[in-house]
Structures are given as C-alpha cells and as structure tokens.
Chains A and B, each alone.
Chain A
C-alpha cells in the first residue's frame, strides 16, 4: 500500500515535471553538442568527458555529443575557447579547476571571470595526498614536522596548479620541504623509486597504484579522506593555515568540473544540469565508470557554483601567498633553499 502511494507521488511529479522537461530536451533534438576538453585525448579529463558524452547524448536527447580536444597552456587555451564559444547551450567544456589559482593570482592569460561561467557540475573530486617513498627515512607526519633539514619533494612545473598545491600546503602546515620543480606526470614516481626524491603532493588517483605496489605510503590526505591517514586540517595550527588548507581542499573537491560559456540562457543551462545529473546517476554510467577505474563523486549546478565562488573569495594575504606559489616568489625561495647545506638524499644516493 505504502509502495503504491510512493509510486503515485512519483507518477504525479513525473506528470507535472515531464512536459516541462520535454520542452527543454526538445531543444536538443536533432542538434549536436560540443564538449570541449582542455587536454589532449587520453588524459583523465578526456576520459571523463568521453564517459559522460554518450549518456549526455541520451539524456539531452541530442543527436551527438562531440568531444573536441583543445589542449595547451595548462588548460588555459581550452577554457578560453569555452568562454568565447556561443552561449546557446550547444557548447560545454571541462578543464582543471586549478585555473582558480590563476584567476586569484591575476593571470592575464585567463581571459574571463570563472564566476561568470554557467557551472554544470563536477563528476568527481581529485583528492590530494602527501606521499613519501619507501626509500625515504620519513615515515610519519611527525617525522616530517620534526625533520632537521628540508626534505626533498618533487613538484610539477612552476605555475602549474599542482605545484601551487604543494607550495600552499607547505606554507599552511609550515613543512620543511624543498621542492624540485619540473617533475611532470609519472616522473615523480620514478624519481621516488630511484630515491632521489623523498615525496610529493599528488592526487590520490594518480599515485594509488604506486602506494598499492608498496613503493610508497600516504602521510596526509587533503580534500578527501584515506583510511588510517590523518587529514591536513588536523595539522593547521592557525587561522591562516586553516584558510589555505581549506582552499586546497576546495580545489580538490572541485576536481573534474564542467561548465557552459558565460551568458548561456537559464533554460538551456537547467537542461544541461538536469541531463548531467541524470547521466551521472545512471546505473549504467556508474558501472562503466567502475570498470574504467574512474571514481564518481558528483556535485551539481549551484553547489559547484558556490564552491567556485568560495574558492575565489580569499583575503589579500592568501592571495599574496598564491601569487608567490605561482610566480617568481618561488624563484627566491629556491635560491634560498639552495644555500641550505646538506640535502637528504645527496648522501644516500651516492
């Protein structure tokens, strides 16, 4: 009886909402939607877009969802292209939420305001973690905090979002680490296996295999939780530290975001958000994502918009730190750390 009642309510809602949805999805009938991916074919962003594409097609009732790879300049080219596209609901895009750092630091190459995009949602977060090599004498967070000399960490190129994460975290928690930049992709894992690098701040999805294989271990989780591993927030001692950890966590939570160009009409944006939600809730998509090893941890529409707005709302002091983390300030820091005498692995590796 109760089930019958629930069914009736669902039916009623469907009857009420259905025609409206029909009207919106009708807009997409017989049309193509372009999904801009700000990386080359083959990366994580590309994989999520290709995974979602087929389901969006179905739930938007569109003819095709076409993946268009627009790589370059650390997602900037793709994001700028998206922002310049005609806001008719037929173009959407996905890029690294790390562009938020760029906007905070006043990067002029970012030619639009991230707040003005029509935020559709995010498919998954990219939780970060501090990972240390099994070759490294540092085994726990306490070891790291008590280290006498700076510990060598790998970083991606300066100016990249992942480098900024590392710098910000080290500022927030007052870590004694020395970042060697220029380790792209899996180079850092190789360097950790060789023992020349002790650790890195990485997204858990990229280092899970490394840790599972026993080459390294997690020390700290950021913007997510890992069983038996403390969270970065526990080690932030002051307000400034907590704010920075919060920012890095928000960036991690945003992860794989998708958006429409600024000025996309509300009706189309709603249709896109709704299709995006139904696609991500589709059991078939979930099953496919599981086999493809792509976690799904979605958030939708205004929630994502608010996360972006919150991340962009920083005190001038934090903005200063971000600027330093992304730009020339790091050069000074490097020079300073070069002056420090003994490095951890100089002796171990020789």
Chain B
C-alpha cells in the first residue's frame, strides 16, 4: 500500500485550516441531527447540500463525511438518558444505557457511549484501510442466500440473549417478524394487513416502532413510579469523573471494543443488510462473550459499548462500496453518493486508479471527526448527566413531545402517532410483565430481509440455495450459537444446584 499517499492524505485534512474549520462545524451539526429523534443523518446531508454546493470537491466531501460519521455519537445521548433513540441503530444502546441512568450512572454511560463511538469510528477507519484490497470479493460473497441466513442468525441470536427465557425471546422476535409482513407484498403486490391505510403500504415505520416499544413505556413507568430517571436515593457519581470512568471502561474492555468495531465495519460494508442490524448483532455478541451475561439489561457498560462502537464503525464500512462500486450500502449513503457526484467526485472503480487520495482523505476525515466529536461532547457530557435527576413531572412532557415529534418527522404521517400510542401501550405491558423487547425490534428490522432474500434465493436456486458455501457457514454459526447458549445454561443450572446443595 502507498504509505506516503496515505499520510499525505492526512495532511490534506489537518494541514488545511479551512478543512479543519469545516470539520469543526460539521461535527456538532451531525451530532445534532443524530440527537433529535426522527431527523437522522440522511436529512442532515440533504439539508447540507445547498451549503456545500459550490465548495471545492474535497472540502465539500470532508464536510459531508464528517457530518455523517458522528450522527450516532449524538444519537446515543437521548437513548441513554430517556430511552428515546435518536436514530434507529441507537435503540440497542437503550437496553443497558437506560438502566445505567436509573442506577445513577448516566455520566458513566454517556462517557462509555462517547468513548465507544470515537474508538469505533477510528478502528472502523483503520479496518477499512486494511481490508481495501479484499473489498470486492468480500462484498460480492454476500447474496440473497447469505442474507437470508444472516438475518435468521440475527433474530435467533437476539432472542437467545435478551432476557431470561428463550421461548419468550423467540415469541417476541416472531411477533416482530409478523409485524414486518404489514406492507405491500413485494412478490405479489397484494396489500397485507394494511386495512387500506396508505401509510402502512411501506410497512410499519421502524422509528415509530422503536420509539413506541422503548421510549413510551419508560415514560409511563416513570410517571407511575414518580421521582426522576435516576432511581437512586443520593446522587451517585456525576460530573467529569463519571464520564471519565465511562471512557476508561471502553479501554478496559478493549477486546470487546476491538471485536465489535470490526464486526460493525464489516456489516456496514455489505450493501443491503442495513446498519440497524449491526448494533444489535454486536450487542448480542457482547452478551454472549461476557463471563457475567446476567448483568446485561440491568446496566452493564459493555451493553453500551458494543452497539455504540458498531454504530460508528459501520458508517465507515458503508463508505467503501459507495466509493468503489458507486453502489451505496444504505439510503444515507445513496444521498452521499449523489452529493459526491454533484461535487465532482465520481465514485466507481475508476476511483481506485486515480482517486485514492480522495478515498484516504475521506477515511482520515471520518476518523478525525469521530475523535473531535468525543472531545467536543466530553465537556458537555456532565451537563447531560444532570438531566437524569430532573423530576419526572418536568421531564415526561418534554420527552413525550420529542417522541411524538420524532415519529411524525420520520414519515410525515399523522397515522403513525396513533400507531406509536398503541405500540407504546404494548411496550409498557411487555416491560411490566418482563418480556424482552429487543427481539421485537430486530424481528421488525430483519423481517423484510428474511422474506425478500428467501424469495430471491428460492427463485434463483431452489432449495439448493442452502448448500451454497456462504449459507452453510451461516447455518454453522446459528448452530454454534445455540450450542453455546444451551451449554452455558446447563452449566449455570448445575452451579445453582451445587450451591443449593452446599447451602
């Protein structure tokens, strides 16, 4: 690899005051679009396009990439504090981030999210530099057969790991899958469970579902219980020390941080799977690889670190196919692709021949933006931590407004507000009777992937699609994770029996 070229590209970013200035504007803008539910990075780019129009190509691209790179850094904050995910992929952070807030550890959770986002973004970038020569074969190895099994893997994985009961987890996951069938059947064009409502033609809106299942139940619970989000008698650690502790946690769990960053970048790199799955799969990985899985869901810092690293590293991952094939990995990237063309950067294989300096510059910008985001929010984080001590009666109206606004903004359909309320009630019942909620979201997200890729794989290869090497590998992965799950369960029950015996 051209080492000189790579570092000359670094100089492109940090050597130019103008570029540094743009980056410093882009980062808070990106975090803002992430932190307000329903806005998201896609809209951020659309609104920034008139602003970058007329800039020189590199400057404009640096602005857009740095902005898009840190969306999920901002998105983690409302997830942790109020259980309101700023963006879809940040929903996984709620599962442990919110309990941390309840334990009075909001500062630490935010620190962990910030640190994880920053490190994830940087490792994701480094991983991209390393994998570039292998990009094409890796990306092309994933077709409908592999997508189908990968999606199934994601659903079973989360069902196993969220909550105590596999049966409950699978049932909730299947319920999510069932709701994913609400749409216009892509194979026949027939309406399914849409009851003639046009807003259901495109399926249940993910943002609305996530807000309904996670945010609203938390607010109801808070209203019922009274008090503040932080459910502790005296104020535990807040201020900078908590935030610092969170950042230290990221490095303390360095093995996990490294693995989830790479998994995130890898999933982001494969067009078509969608980034939402990356954070959930990494969350699942954190639970599975932990020596103390029972802490998860009750405020384990690893549960914040894993999805947040994945969120930021997947953005880097999805940049690669966008730049090299001109095939965007997500709708956000599709808009970025359009913006690149507008700026005069022509993505496609030609870029590998004569545009590598642009690619490297953008990867550096991506990494630096992630670091800058951490530095910027580091100062503000303690202030956010205070919010967890605000009385419920003051907080609930504000958060509910944010929730309903987010649901409306994401699809501009008032009917979604009704759906949000209904799902909110359902989510509250699930919370109250201790049914795991994550499998629902992952079922809803991956449902269309499962259905669509199964149809395609079956039409293309018939049942033999299961015998393709990639598919066999995925099946092995599913079997291994089931085996590990049952083996650990058995060990645990044995231990308990031994303890009881001793007692």
Contacts and interface: CB of A to CB of B under 8 A. Distances in A.
Interface of A: 40-42, 46-47, 50, 69-74, 76-77, 80, 109, 152, 157-159, 180-183, 185-187, 189-191, 193-194, 196, 209-210, 212-214, 288, 291-293, 326-328, 330-331, 334, 338, 343, 345-346, 349-350
A259 B276 CA distance: 37
B271 interface: yes
A181 B349 contact: no
B338 A42 contact: yes
Given A72-B199, A213-B349, A47 B338 contact: yes
B46 interface: yes
A74 B201 contact: yes
Interface stretch (B70-78, B156-164, B180-188): B180-188
Nearest to B201: A73
Most buried by B among A42, A109, A214: A42
A90 B184 CA distance: 33
B437 interface: no
A157 B349 contact: no
Interface stretch (B24-32, B85-93, B105-113, B452-460): B452-460
11 contacts: A109-B198, A158-B187, A159-B189, A181-B186, A182-B456, A196-B143, A291-B342, A327-B189, A328-B189, A334-B187, A350-B461
B166 interface: no
A186 B334 contact: yes
B143 A186 contact: no
Given A47-B338, A80-B198, A343-B460, A193 B184 contact: no
B295 to A, nearest CB: 40
Interface stretch (B4-12, B118-126, B322-330, B391-399): B322-330
Contacts of A41: 42-43, 46-47, 335
Contact of B188 (A42, A158, A180, A291): A158
B327 A190 contact: yes
Contact of A71 (B49, B347, B348, B412): B412
B341 A72 contact: no
A42 B468 contact: no
B342 A293 contact: yes
Which range contains the number of B residues in contact with the other chain? 35 or more
A236 to B, nearest CB: 26
Given A73-B198, A346-B460, A330 B189 contact: yes
Most buried by A among B42, B348, B452, B459: B459
B43 A213 contact: no
Contacts of A213: 325-326, 348-350
A157 B325 contact: no
Nearest to B184: A159
B272 interface: yes
Interface of B: 42-43, 45-47, 49-50, 53, 139-140, 143-144, 184-190, 196, 198-199, 201-202, 271-272, 325-328, 331, 334-335, 338, 341-342, 344, 346-350, 411-413, 452, 455-456, 459-462, 464, 468
Contacts of B202: 71-73
B461 A346 contact: yes
Nearest to A214: B349
A182 B452 contact: yes
Contacts of B42: 40-42
Contact of B413 (A46, A77, A180): A77
A77 B200 CA distance: 11
Contact of B184 (A69, A73, A293, A350): A73
Contact of A158 (B186, B331, B412): B186
A159 B184 CA distance: 9
A210 B321 CA distance: 13
Given A42-B331, A157-B189, A159-B189, A338 B198 contact: no
Given A158-B188, A159-B184, A190 B331 contact: no
Nearest to B142: A194
CB-based closest 6 A-B pairs: A159-B189, A73-B201, A158-B189, A157-B186, A42-B335, A41-B46
Contacts of A182: 186-187, 452, 455-456
B46 A46 contact: yes
Contact of A326 (B139, B189, B411, B462): B189
B344 A291 contact: yes
A74 B202 CA distance: 8
A209 to B, nearest CB: 4
A74 B186 CA distance: 12
A42 B348 contact: no
Given A157-B189, A193-B325, 14 more contacts: A41-B42, A41-B43, A42-B43, A46-B46, A74-B201, A77-B413, A109-B198, A152-B460, A180-B456, A183-B456, A187-B271, A190-B325, A191-B144, A346-B462
B201 A76 contact: yes
Contact of B348 (A109, A194, A212): A212
Nearest to B196: A109
Contacts of A345: 460
A346 B199 CA distance: 38
A50 B189 CA distance: 31
A164 to B, nearest CB: 10
B391 to A, nearest CB: 37
Contacts of A152: 460
Nearest to A188: B327
A330 B185 CA distance: 13
B326 A181 contact: no
Contacts of A157: 184, 186-187, 189
Most buried by A among B43, B140, B144: B144
A322 to B, nearest CB: 12
B318 to A, nearest CB: 12
Most buried by B among A191, A196, A331: A196
A308 B185 CA distance: 28
Contacts of A212: 348, 350
Contacts of A47: 338
Nearest to A108: B196
A209 B199 contact: no
A209 B50 CA distance: 23
Contacts of B341: 292-293
Nearest to B42: A42
Contacts of B327: 186, 189-190, 193, 210
B243 to A, nearest CB: 34
A12 B199 CA distance: 53
Contacts of B413: 72, 77
Nearest to B327: A186
Contact of B459 (A187, A328, A338): A338
A264 to B, nearest CB: 23
Contacts of A77: 198-199, 201, 413
Nearest to A46: B46
Contacts of B189: 157-159, 326-328, 330
A50 B190 CA distance: 33
Nearest to A189: B327
Nearest to A213: B348
Contacts of B455: 181-182
A338 B42 CA distance: 39
Contacts of B272: 187, 190
A80 B143 CA distance: 37
Contacts of B350: 212-213
B30 to A, nearest CB: 16
Contacts of B342: 291-293
